[in-house]
Structures are given as structure tokens and as C-alpha cells.
Amino acid sequence: MNNTQKLFKLATQAAQKAYCPYSKFAVGAAILADDGNFYVGCNVENISYPVGTCAEAGAIAAMIAGGGKIISEIVIFADAKTLVSPCGACRQRIVEFSDENTLVHMANIEGIKKTVKANQLLPFGFEEF
């Protein structure tokens, strides 16, 4: 099993743990970081809807807490037939911890459906103040 296949598996497992009683849309994210470690997250909703967090945010928080600094690859898996594409806020989150080689794989129950470089996700994103 190569790294991307392992990330896909980890993301599907994370999605099984998602807390999504409101949307019923389970998402898992798995990161291979520059430190060689794998990190996962899932969406965690809240009865106060805007308080909920995306799977990508959880995986990035795990990466940072675990000592990773840059995302080498991330798989975002939706337990659905539709393709899940990271929301705008998560694009900003991903780009913050990416370099020019970072790959973003979008996956559903049929497998990885689309792969882009992280820097393709957020043209003209917020960079400096």
C-alpha cells in the first residue's frame, strides 16, 4: 500500500468517527506531514451550527500538535457519492501549511476522484498584512 492509499484508508476510518448529527455528512481527512507521520481529523458539529469544525481543521490541528509543519499530502474523504471539495476556510487553512509540492486529494466512497496542488486551491488568497 503506498502513502496515498494509506491516507485514503485513514481518512475513511476518521470519517467513521465523525460527529455530524445535524448534516449527517461525514468527512474524514488524513495528512502525511513533512515529519513522516500521519495525522487524521473528522468533522465535529455543534448544536450551535457555526461552531462546528471541518475534518481538515481537525487533521491540521493534530499535525501541528504532533510536531508536523508542512502537509506533503492530504486526503479529504466524504462518506458520500458526491465529490467533496474543501470549503473556502479550509483552503486557507491548508495553504498556510503547504508548499509548492503539497497534494490535495478529494475522495468519496468510490475512491480518490481528483488531485490538485494546494496552491491551485486558493488563487489570490490572503497572505500578508
Give the binding-site size for ligand THU (rule: CB under 6 A). 15
Please tell me whether residue 79 binds ligand THU under the rule CB under 6 A. Answer: no
Measuring CA to CA, which residue among 54, 32, 39, 41 is closest to residue 14?
41
According to DSSP, the residues that pair with 33 across neighbouring strands are: 71
56 has catalytic annotation: yes
Of residues 49 through 68, those in contact with ligand THU by CB under 6 A are 52, 54-56
- Active-site hit among 56, 73, 110, 127: 56
Strand ranges for 14-117 from DSSP E: 27-33, 38-42, 71-78, 103-108, 111-117
Selected from 40, 86, 95, 102, the binder of ligand THU by CB under 6 A is 86
According to DSSP, the residues that pair with 117 across neighbouring strands are: 103
Shortest distance in whole angstroms from residue 28 CB to ligand THU: 8
Q: Which residues are annotated as catalytic? A: 56
